[in-house]
Amino acid sequence: MLTNLWWYFYYSWLHGMLKWALRITTGKCELERICSSRPAGAERTKAVECSLSHSRVVALKNALASDNLNTSDAADNIIILKSVNVDKNPSFRPAILQCLEQIGGYQRLVSSVTSLQKEKYSTGREDHEEQLMKLWRLLKPGVSLERRKTKQWGDLGFQGEDPATDFRGMGILGLQNLLYFAENYNAAAVKVLSDSHHPKFGYSFAVVGINLTSLVVDLLCERHLRSHFYNSTSGEPALMDFHKVYCCVFCEFNQFWFAEEPETVMEFSRILEMYRNTLLERLKQPKVTITSKFIED
């Protein structure tokens, strides 16, 4: 309660006074000071994001409000509104433009990912079915399916004869993540699938993979992945970048699972929560990027 009151007082009164004093003494607005004193990446972009969100100028706040923001126009508007002399500070526009592309790109990525999550898997969609068949071919090369609905799907860790039922929670996104993993990092995906068949510590590959999609979506929507994307992409993060995070998380969780040596698969929820907390701590680091030694471009 006291902490909230302090921040309210700070941003309502002290912050504005401090910005005015620094503007007078340095001749630069807050955004200029951020862009000139902080390195490109999460440290700079999150500071710009914070400055814009607390601005009393509506036009500046609007720079964070739209998924369809024209970042070039927004950068020019900031220069005009903040009276930035780009002749004296030519590095400001490219720096603020990069920050705006990352901020706006993150918001658009959230929209794209949640849209795919809401798109239900349909057995009547030829493209959906083809993606599912491709997943089988990539993970079980040389092995033919006896029929569309078969217990063979259990070899990939699906719960029943029809994998479509397992995608209900995450929609087509759950399948696309698995497919991206199998298609782009096939050796790693096949290894994780093989590990999942361990006689003592085995788990359901596909079901766990869909649960990990849920985890990564939550991290994205709760803004915990901002530092990773601001550090790992120089501009707007794309859906492919989200898929890569998923692949790294899957490889990491696989190692984490075996390190815990669970008594039964019923310990999955507990171990997943432990892994989530560990990952959240890492994501608090300003220079964090999510990588895996098994996932290399």
pLDDT digits (tens, 9 = 90+) for 33-92: 999 999 999 999 999 999 998 887 777 777 776 677 789 999 999 999 888 999 999 999
**What phi-psi label fits residue 118: left (phi over 0), alpha (psi between -120 and 50 degrees) or beta?**
alpha
For 139-176, what is each residue's pLDDT tens digit? 999 999 999 999 999 999 999 999 999 999 999 999 99
Section 92-99 average pLDDT: 96
Q: How far apart are CA 106 and CA 171, in angstroms?
A: 21
pLDDT at 6 over 90: no
The DSSP string of the chain is -HHHHHHHHIIIIIHHHHHHHHHHHHS--HHHHHHHHS-TTHHHHHHHHHHHHT-S-HHHHGGGT-TT--HHHHHHHHHHHTT--TTT-TTHHHHHHHHHHHHHHHHHHHHHHHHHHHS---TT-HHHHHHHHHHHHHHSTT---SSSS-GGGGGGT-SSS-GGGGGTTTHHHHHHHHHHHHHHSHHHHHHHHHHTT-TTT---HHHHHHHHHHHHHHHHHTTTTHHHHHHH-SS---HHHHHHHHHHHHHHHHHHHHHH--SSGGGHHHHHHHHHHHHHHHHTSTT----BTTB--
State pTM to two decimals.
Answer: 0.90
Residue 192: other Cβ atoms inside 10 A:
24
For residue 8, pLDDT beyond 70: no
| Predicted pLDDT of residue 180 | 98
pLDDT tens-digit profile of 235-276? 999 999 999 999 999 999 999 999 999 999 999 999 999 999
Nearest to 294 by CA among 179, 219, 192, 157: 192
One-letter amino acid of 72: S
pLDDT in the model for residue 56:
77
d(CA 29, CA 172): 45
- pLDDT tens digits, residue range 169-219? 999 999 999 999 999 999 999 999 999 999 999 999 999 999 999 999 999
Mean pLDDT value across the chain: 90
Closest C-alpha to 221, from 258, 170, 167, 185: 170
> Which whole number is the average pLDDT over 13-35?
67
Residue 93 and residue 89: Cα distance in Å, rounded? 8
Residue 7's pLDDT band, with cuts at 50, 70 and 90, is very low
Residue 61, pLDDT score: 72
Is the CA virtual torsion 177, 182, 184, 189 positive or negative? positive
Q: Rounded to 5 degrees, what angle do the CA atoms 287, 292, 297 make?
A: 95
Q: Find tokens 């989200």 and name the residue.
A: 242
Q: What is the pLDDT of residue 24?
A: 56
Measured in whole angstroms, the distance separating CA 230 from the mean position of its chain's CA atoms is 10
Determine the residue type at 159. Q
